[in-house]
Structure 1
């Protein structure tokens, strides 16, 4: 029952084991009540005993405890009083000991101070040495510093006054000795310790001595080279520097051991001389106008003197210390360089602009042999000389300054590079030959390629020139100059030169296109041989490219030129297709054969940049590296011509079929381009109306997205019939590199003809009835034959 986990139900079940046991409940309750009363009495009894014991303890025991505590407190107070008395006596003893020790130390120091002062007086009365005085003075100054708080004591104050008189006498004697030795050249004493004594007494006395000494050394220089006599003129600046160098040498030999090395007498004297010289130069420069020769002579002399001081004194303190006074006047020199560069422009105008090896050749065959023998870059020597002059001028300016003169030079270089463009190179590009003969053609090629290469050379050197200026010019002038305008100027010149070269080839091809027009297309027989006009075209391209490409230095420009030649050929061919009458399957077959043959030549054009190249030297590995991207571009360009031929082969009737073929092959919604195509088909304006109406109708019903303008039709010109000489220089005048068009072949393979609604079915049936079934059979047969042509072309290409 004493457990906290006691469960009374277990005992109750044991007491009341059966229903008969309920009758004993009154007895059980009486027993429990009696037990409860007995327990309560026992508890009350225990409580009374506890209270009685506590009452007995609070009387006697507590009184004893209080008395014990009071006794302890009394004893502790007596002990504390005794301890305080003892410690107070000990503290007094410690203080007395400390004061006694301090008094003994002070007295001892006072004795030493008095002795040191007496010793100093003895040294001053006798023939003293500064080394001994310095040692005593040093100790005495330390002692005086110790007694500084006790100056209110009369005796100590008296010692301070005595010491002040000694120091004053020492200073006077030192200055007298310096004057006697340096001015009157009496026998030398140990003045190095005298300098140390002055420094120990007061730094102001040291500065006073140095100023006196510096003025003494520079006295003659100031008297001789003043601004009022001829000796002080700018022409005698070198004499001033020589005189000072002699003074410096004399001082080293005679007075080397007088001053401590830590004072840097030579360095400080040289700085003072430079400051005096700078003030004199500034006054002279402000008094009169100085010629460029005098200015540069004085500047170079000053720079040499500054460098000699830096070397002799192992310092960098003299860099531009005097020469910077000339910087504001360097504009005079800039003016001289302006006149000099202008005279160089006149000289460049009269000298030959192409290498002498190229000047004597008057025919293409002769010039081709010259190119095989000589590998001389076709660059104007005057441009190379111009940058050499720039380099020389810049090196000179770098020696003199890194300030505003470089900004002025950058603007000057900018000016004459623009002059070189306008006066030397641009007139060559703008000039036109009066007679179109072989000599004039070849000369134009020589000069135009020279302009192209020279422009590229100048652009490359402009970047280096800008970096040099940016590295040497001071921070405040950075960002205030650039050569962006020159870059744009020469890039445009390069592009114009290249377009002029393309114009020359275009002009040279006129005879070939006249042959193309005069060809007997009516009686043309199918042949695998190349047409006569194509032989002339290939010969013209080969002749010009073998002369032009070896003269172009940069590979990227060679590629650009070949791209432009490809565009020229494709454009001219496309625009002259209207001259073929009739445009039959046989004629298209011959044209296709000619185009494939021409394409093979166009693929090899970049290789003509090597004048010694021939077909035997080309291997597959070389081809993959040099022609891979170019061949892709050529394929894209000729694809336009192939699609145009395929479109031209489409019969004019039925109209729906022709318009549908245009949408399928050209894939644009431009009515202007569609009119170009109709003109190429030799349809009159009146006949074109119904085609245009059908074009608009199918365009309104088309579901596919069509381009605004196809590059295939962009190469066609909308002009009157006749031999066409397309001038490629009209376009791309602002771009040096031509980006190829997207892969048109993949576009054509993925494109489909526009889906027309069912309403067109009735119109197609009506056209079929009007034109009879024979026209449809002929159309299908023509397309089959045309497909054979392209399969044959592909087989030939695969075989090659």
Structure 2
């Protein structure tokens, strides 16, 4: 049994075979400890004895091993010397054999070189270039082998003989090519091998042959089309290309077979021709003080067509702008002439009506009939023509270049986008509200919606134009392209002006309705009707005179929504501001106005349906967002009217109702309400103090800063000014027209205004109504 397999359990069971034997544990432990110590002493003694005896034996073994190694090395050296002595003669014999083989190889190859050279000399007179090429290839390879032996006279002499033979071959091959170019009587295949021989001898002979051949083919061309003769002018550039095409056709039919196919002589000849032509054109363009634009463009187009035909012929793109790039610096001449074209276009635009011919009607009824039948977009005729012209010009230039000249063209387009606005469209914007009273209402709507649609059309096409320029111009010039954002902003402003003036026109049309409103004795109203007379007339003005015409004429749905939103805001502000003129107002009066406002709200919710001229009054589902907008806007006015129903006393109750109904913490707005409730100035301070007190106590963060409707309500001071102005012009106060958004007009625009108006007045002579409408567009420089 090994030590690893030993388990003490069996022995322990024998020693402690009964419970009584456990008493003997102390004696057992003493015995085991003593036995362990004895074993340790015995082991230590054995280790010491082993070390003493083994050291001497190890030393003796090491000495023996050293002696044995020395003896082996000595025997090995002796053995090596014996082997070298035995094989020396064999090594010498092997070296002799190698030298003999080398000598035999040299003699054999020398014999081959001599024989090949002799054969070559005999073959040369036969002009059998195929066999000559084979022999010369062998000779050239052998000469490479003998290159290290050129110092040997015989080898050097033989090398000189081969050089002389090669020179003779070169002369013969050139003579054969010259004879072939005169009268083709040589074997095409033999001349191909002749070309390969020249290339084998030295690549310089290949270049010399090709240079001779190319010059030979272009000799007459250079003579005919030089810059000193008329044939070499830009006018005859097409003849130059036709002449070369004939030369190329001749080369490909007659000479292509006598040259190796990998030389591509037709392609290389064409490249050389393009290089020469490019240099000629550089000299022509630089020498001309003034180049006619038509000649320049014709030459450029001819060159582009020529380059395209070469690319198609050789299935490559190597010839793209290889020659035509010469014209790039001169393209500014063409761009400048496009300015003349655009200027003439602008004059044409100023001499024609901007409205589509379908809209040449005089009344709303006639125009509504046209809208029901036709779906012609109400966009200025000249705007589409302008961008067609832009597209035509851009298409032309892209055939010519995609480089820096596009920057100049972009600047030119921007200039005429400004001109189109300043000369054609801007003069059609009404100067002030008085123009509405002097103009035909139908014409007003046609022209203002035309301005809105055209502004939108211009903005979208300006974006497309900008994207087009960025897409086609070379990457290196993209950052240099001028931005079209500023000119686009001009047309955004035009859209704003159109919408604002449409609202001003509606405001002007509804003045009589609001005069009726002001003439009602609201403080002594005895009965309440479903709807007041002024509201019936106002609906007629809004729908029949305006919305049924305006909304179908507006193309983009987003502008229809924007216009309706602003119209709702204008109507609410108008009612609110007119409340200032009817103090005091009775409870019945307020309730009647509430009914009128509810009726107007129902109408406002229906505004979008009038965008469809064929709707025939059918009610359709409106946008939930628009419904929410209308409800929110009218909620402010309804809340204000409900507040006017609240008694002024007790004061705390009225103020609490203000917080509940109006929901703002603006003291200024609160004062406006006090004025509407006709509370005298001496009592207002008490209300204001109480308002501040309740605001400090009850404001839980739910009140807004100010109500939008009351914010737009004019102060008492504004009322005095407005009343004074109104009294000067009419016996009853009137609502002022909606404020036109301010737009800065630079001097350049003002100076152009008169020119545009003079041209537009030609258009206004179409009929008497149009004459009257011309006053609506008249501008002067005294704004």
CA displacement at 1:724 relative to structure 2 = 4.9
- Equivalent residue number for residue 514 of structure 1: 515
Bigger shift: 450-459 or 712-721? Answer: 712-721
- Contact 1:572 1:724 (C-alpha < 8 Å) held by counterparts: no
The answer to whether structure 1 residue 138 and structure 2 residue 137 are counterparts is yes
3-state SS of 2:252 partner: helix
Task: Mark the CA change 1:17 to 1:171 in structure 2 (over 3 Å): closer, same or farther.
Answer: closer
The CA deviation string for residues 522-563 of structure 1, in whole angstroms up to 9 with x for no partner, is 443444521111111111111211110000011111110110
Give the Cα–Cα distance (whole angstroms) in 2 for the partners of residues 129 and 221 of structure 1. 34
1:570-581 matches, within 5 Å, as 570-581=572-583
The answer to whether structure 1 residue 538 and structure 2 residue 539 are counterparts is yes
Give the Cα–Cα distance (whole angstroms) in 1 for the partners of residues 560 and 666 of structure 2. 35
- Contact 2:535 2:596 (C-alpha < 8 Å) held by counterparts: yes
Task: Mark the CA change 1:70 to 1:570 in structure 2 (over 3 Å): closer, same or farther.
Answer: closer
Give the Cα–Cα distance (whole angstroms) in 1 for the partners of residues 649 and 433 of structure 2. 49
Q: Which of 594, 609, 613 in structure 2 is aligned with 1:592?
A: 594
- Contact 2:436 2:444 (C-alpha < 8 Å) held by counterparts: no
Q: Which of 730, 735, 738 in structure 2 is aligned with 1:725?
A: 735
- Equivalent residue number for residue 255 of structure 2: 255
- Equivalent residue number for residue 356 of structure 2: 355
The answer to whether structure 1 residue 457 and structure 2 residue 451 are counterparts is no
- Equivalent residue number for residue 364 of structure 2: 364
- Equivalent residue number for residue 765 of structure 2: none
3-state SS of 1:704 partner: coil
- Equivalent residue number for residue 157 of structure 1: 156
- Equivalent residue number for residue 645 of structure 1: 641
- Equivalent residue number for residue 666 of structure 2: 670
The answer to whether structure 1 residue 550 and structure 2 residue 552 are counterparts is yes
RMSD, aligned α-carbons: 3.7
- Equivalent residue number for residue 396 of structure 1: 396
Bigger shift: 362-371 or 495-504? Answer: 362-371
CA displacement at 1:486 relative to structure 2 = 1.9
- Equivalent residue number for residue 726 of structure 2: none
CA displacement at 1:207 relative to structure 2 = 0.8
- Contact 2:303 2:324 (C-alpha < 8 Å) held by counterparts: yes
Give the Cα–Cα distance (whole angstroms) in 2 for the partners of residues 431 and 91 of structure 1. 121
Instruction: Tell which has more relative contact order, 1 or 2 (C-alpha 8 A, sep 6+).
Output: 2
- Equivalent residue number for residue 114 of structure 1: 114
Give the Cα–Cα distance (whole angstroms) in 1 for the partners of residues 166 and 369 of structure 2. 99
The CA deviation string for residues 558-599 of structure 1, in whole angstroms up to 9 with x for no partner, is 110110111011111111223344433322222222111111
The answer to whether structure 1 residue 128 and structure 2 residue 127 are counterparts is yes
Residue ranges of structure 1 left out of the alignment (5+ in a row):
735-800
Give the Cα–Cα distance (whole angstroms) in 1 for the partners of residues 500 and 559 of structure 2. 12
Give the Cα–Cα distance (whole angstroms) in 2 for the partners of residues 651 and 50 of structure 1. 128
- Contact 2:609 2:619 (C-alpha < 8 Å) held by counterparts: no
The CA deviation string for residues 308-337 of structure 1, in whole angstroms up to 9 with x for no partner, is 222233332222211111111111111110
- Equivalent residue number for residue 328 of structure 2: 327
3-state SS of 1:379 partner: coil
Give the Cα–Cα distance (whole angstroms) in 2 for the partners of residues 48 and 580 of structure 1. 138
- Equivalent residue number for residue 246 of structure 1: 246
CA displacement at 1:672 relative to structure 2 = 2.6
The CA deviation string for residues 255-291 of structure 1, in whole angstroms up to 9 with x for no partner, is 2322112111111111111111111122122222111
CA displacement at 1:494 relative to structure 2 = 0.7
Bigger shift: 543-552 or 168-177? Answer: 168-177
Give the Cα–Cα distance (whole angstroms) in 2 for the partners of residues 205 and 558 of structure 1. 81
The CA deviation string for residues 45-80 of structure 1, in whole angstroms up to 9 with x for no partner, is 999999899999999x99999998777666555444
3-state SS of 1:479 partner: helix
The CA deviation string for residues 374-420 of structure 1, in whole angstroms up to 9 with x for no partner, is 21111111111111111111111011111122111111111111111
3-state SS of 2:735 partner: coil
Give the Cα–Cα distance (whole angstroms) in 1 for the partners of residues 321 and 345 of structure 2. 32
- Equivalent residue number for residue 294 of structure 1: 295
- Contact 2:568 2:630 (C-alpha < 8 Å) held by counterparts: yes
- Equivalent residue number for residue 796 of structure 1: none
Q: Which of 626, 629, 632 in structure 2 is aligned with 1:633?
A: 629
CA displacement at 1:188 relative to structure 2 = 5.8
CA displacement at 1:82 relative to structure 2 = 3.7
Give the Cα–Cα distance (whole angstroms) in 1 for the partners of residues 65 and 308 of structure 2. 102
CA displacement at 1:464 relative to structure 2 = 1.6
Give the Cα–Cα distance (whole angstroms) in 2 for the partners of residues 140 and 714 of structure 1. 108
- Contact 1:371 1:550 (C-alpha < 8 Å) held by counterparts: yes
- Equivalent residue number for residue 768 of structure 1: none
The CA deviation string for residues 621-678 of structure 1, in whole angstroms up to 9 with x for no partner, is xx1xx42110000011001101211222222233343334333433433333223222
- Contact 1:568 1:726 (C-alpha < 8 Å) held by counterparts: no
Give the Cα–Cα distance (whole angstroms) in 1 for the partners of residues 597 and 173 of structure 2. 109
**TM-score, length of structure 2 as denominator length:** 0.82
Give the Cα–Cα distance (whole angstroms) in 2 for the partners of residues 194 and 611 of structure 1. 87
- Equivalent residue number for residue 727 of structure 2: none
- Equivalent residue number for residue 178 of structure 1: 177
- Contact 1:524 1:586 (C-alpha < 8 Å) held by counterparts: yes
Task: Mark the CA change 1:709 to 1:506 in structure 2 (over 3 Å): closer, same or farther.
Answer: same
- Equivalent residue number for residue 168 of structure 1: 167
The CA deviation string for residues 158-193 of structure 1, in whole angstroms up to 9 with x for no partner, is 222211111112112222222233247665662211
- Contact 2:116 2:135 (C-alpha < 8 Å) held by counterparts: yes
Task: Mark the CA change 1:4 to 1:69 in structure 2 (over 3 Å): closer, same or farther.
Answer: farther
CA displacement at 1:518 relative to structure 2 = 1.0
Task: Mark the CA change 1:64 to 1:175 in structure 2 (over 3 Å): closer, same or farther.
Answer: closer
CA displacement at 1:510 relative to structure 2 = 0.9
3-state SS of 1:279 partner: helix
Give the Cα–Cα distance (whole angstroms) in 1 for the partners of residues 46 and 302 of structure 2. 129
Bigger shift: 658-667 or 68-77? Answer: 68-77
- Equivalent residue number for residue 690 of structure 1: 686
Give the Cα–Cα distance (whole angstroms) in 2 for the partners of residues 460 and 323 of structure 1. 34
Give the Cα–Cα distance (whole angstroms) in 1 for the partners of residues 636 and 741 of structure 2. 18
Task: Mark the CA change 1:111 to 1:18 in structure 2 (over 3 Å): closer, same or farther.
Answer: closer
Give the Cα–Cα distance (whole angstroms) in 2 for the partners of residues 594 and 49 of structure 1. 131
- Equivalent residue number for residue 345 of structure 2: 344
Bigger shift: 61-70 or 473-482? Answer: 61-70
- Equivalent residue number for residue 789 of structure 1: none
CA displacement at 1:92 relative to structure 2 = 4.4
Give the Cα–Cα distance (whole angstroms) in 2 for the partners of residues 577 and 324 of structure 1. 74
- Contact 2:667 2:688 (C-alpha < 8 Å) held by counterparts: yes
Task: Mark the CA change 1:198 to 1:73 in structure 2 (over 3 Å): closer, same or farther.
Answer: closer
3-state SS of 1:257 partner: helix
